[in-house]
Structure 1
Amino acid sequence: MESREDYLAAVERIAAGHGPVAVDAERASGYRYSQRAYLIQVFRRGAGAFLFDPITIGDFRELQDAMVDEEWLFHAASQDLPCLREVGLVPTRIFDTELGARIAGFPRVGLGAVVEQLLGITLAKAHSAADWSTRPLPQSWLVYASLDVELLPDLRDALAATLDEAGKTQIAQQEFHAVLNRAPKPPKAEPWRRLSGMHALRGQRALAIARSLWEARDAFAQETDIAPGRTIPDAAIVAAAAAAPETRKDLSAVKAFTGRASRSELDRWWAAVEAGRTTEDLPKLRGRGEPTLPPPRAWADRNPEADRRYKAARAAVAARAEELDIPLENLLTPDTLRTVAWEPPADVSTAGVGAALEALDARPWQVEETAARIAEAFVAAGQDDGGAAPASS
Structure 2
Amino acid sequence: MSSTHRRRAPGEMLDAPRFFIDRIDSLEDHASEIEACHAVGIDTEFVRERTFFPQPGLLQFSDGNAVWLIDPVALGEVGEFVSRLAGWMRNPGRVKILHSVGEDFEVIERVCGALPEPLFDTQIAAAMLGMPLQLKYETLAEERLGVTFPGGLGRNNWLRRPLPDAWMAYAAHDVIGLPELMARLAEGLDRAGRLGWHTEDCARLVERARRPVDPLTRIRGADRLDDDALARLDRMARWRDEEARRRDLPRTFIAADPVLLEIARRNPRDPSGLEGIDKLKPGAARRFGPTLIECCRTPTPDFVRPPELQPLTREDRDAVTDLQKTVRTRAEELDVDPALLASKRELTRIVRGERPDWLDGWRGDLFGAELEP
TM-score w.r.t. the length of structure 1 is 0.68
Structure 2 matches for 1:10-89, cutoff 5 A? 10-16=30-36, 18-35=37-54, 37-45=56-64, 47-53=66-72, 55-58=76-79, 59-65=81-87, 68=91, 69-77=93-101, 79-86=103-110, 87-89=112-114
State the shift of 1:76 in Å.
1.2
State the shift of 1:335 in Å.
5.2
Counterpart residue identity of residue 73, structure 1: I
1:195-219 CA distance string (max 9 Å, x none): 89999x9xx99x97x9999788766
Cα distance, 1:215–1:96 mapped onto 2, change above 3 Å: closer
Assess if the C-alpha contact under 8 Å between 1:189 and 1:290 holds in 2: no
Give, in whole Å, the separation in 2 of the partners of 1:62 and 1:300: 50
Q: Find the counterpart in structure 2 of residue 388 from structure 1.
A: none
Counterpart residue identity of residue 23, structure 2: S
1:165-192 CA distance string (max 9 Å, x none): 433222222222222333544332547x
Choose from 224, 232, 250 the match for 1:227.
Answer: 250
Give, in whole Å, the separation in 2 of the partners of 1:273 and 1:92: 43
Give, in whole Å, the separation in 2 of the partners of 1:38 and 1:111: 20
Gaps of 5+ in 2: 1-20
State the shift of 1:64 in Å.
4.1
Choose from 340, 364, 369 the match for 1:367.
Answer: 364
TM-score w.r.t. the length of structure 2 is 0.71
Assess if the C-alpha contact under 8 Å between 2:223 and 2:311 holds in 1: no
Give, in whole Å, the separation in 1 of the partners of 2:277 and 2:337: 47
Q: Find the counterpart in structure 2 of residue 105 from structure 1.
A: 130
Give, in whole Å, the separation in 2 of the partners of 1:21 and 1:175: 19
Assess if the C-alpha contact under 8 Å between 2:215 and 2:241 holds in 1: no
Residue aligned with 2:63, SS: strand
Counterpart residue identity of residue 12, structure 1: S
Cα distance, 1:116–1:31 mapped onto 2, change above 3 Å: farther
Residue aligned with 1:77, SS: coil
Cα distance, 1:276–1:141 mapped onto 2, change above 3 Å: same
Q: Find the counterpart in structure 2 of residue 348 from structure 1.
A: none
Tell me how many residue pairs correspond in the alignment: 343
Residue aligned with 1:26, SS: strand
Counterpart residue identity of residue 96, structure 1: D
Give, in whole Å, the separation in 1 of the partners of 2:40 and 2:120: 10
Greater relative contact order: 1 or 2 (C-alpha under 8 angstroms, separation 6 or more)? 2
Residue aligned with 2:52, SS: coil
State the shift of 1:73 in Å.
0.7
Cα distance, 1:252–1:154 mapped onto 2, change above 3 Å: same
Residue aligned with 1:187, SS: coil
Alignment root-mean-square deviation, CA: 4.5
Between the aligned residues of both structures, percent identity stands at 21
Cα distance, 1:152–1:315 mapped onto 2, change above 3 Å: same
Structure 2 matches for 1:300-379, cutoff 5 A? 307=318, 312-334=322-344, 337-341=347-351, 343=353, 360-371=357-368, 373=370
Cα distance, 1:257–1:372 mapped onto 2, change above 3 Å: closer
Assess if the C-alpha contact under 8 Å between 2:59 and 2:71 holds in 1: yes
Q: Find the counterpart in structure 2 of residue 299 from structure 1.
A: 315
Matched, 1:272 2:269: no
